[in-house]
């Protein structure tokens, strides 16, 4: 397959937040992140196994090594693999008080065909849980 180099994998991406405490709780409780402090407080990263979301938020100096249009709160679109049936993801979101915006719907993800549900983080970024166990 053209353009595929097997040893290259996504290491981290960026999400923007407007409130550290609210976002840290959400990404920990709803999405399952390990909140990893780094740099000067309040800077953290959200870690999911061997993949990480670096977090840009209030009070963090982003220097000049950022995208031409830096990530802003509410403008990310991220998909997370749910480790079970999508019905369990829906029940988890309901228990956390998070509304499913779309789904369940069939989607194509990194592991092939799956079933997804979509929801929003506190800033409005679109998040997705995809399950390959249907």
Q: Which positions are catalytic? A: 128
Give the single-character DSSP code of 112.
Answer: E
**For residue 20, what is the enclosing H or E element?**
helix 20-29
DSSP assignment of 72-106, as one string? -BT--EEEEE-SS-HHHHHHHHHHTT----EEEEE
Bridge partners of 107, per DSSP, are: 114
Give the single-character DSSP code of 49.
Answer: T
59: which 2 tokens? 């009070």
Give the single-character DSSP code of 14.
Answer: E
Q: Is the dihedral of CA 71, 120, 132, 84 positive or negative?
A: positive
């Amino acid at each position: 397959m053209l353009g595929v180099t097997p040893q290259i994998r996504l290491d981290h991406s960026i999400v923007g937040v407007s409130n550290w405490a609210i976002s840290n709780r959400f990404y920990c409780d709803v999405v399952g992140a390990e909140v990893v402090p780094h740099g000067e407080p309040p800077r953290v990263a959200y870690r999911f196994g061997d993949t990480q979301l670096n977090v840009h938020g209030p009070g963090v100096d982003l220097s000049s090594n950022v995208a031409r249009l830096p990530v802003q709160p509410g403008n990310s679109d991220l998909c997370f693999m749910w480790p079970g049936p999508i019905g369990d993801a829906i029940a988890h979101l309901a228990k956390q008080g998070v509304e499913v915006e779309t789904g369940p719907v069939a989607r194509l993800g990194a592991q092939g065909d799956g079933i997804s549900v979509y929801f929003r983080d506190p800033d409005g970024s679109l998040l997705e849980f995809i399950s390959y166990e249907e």
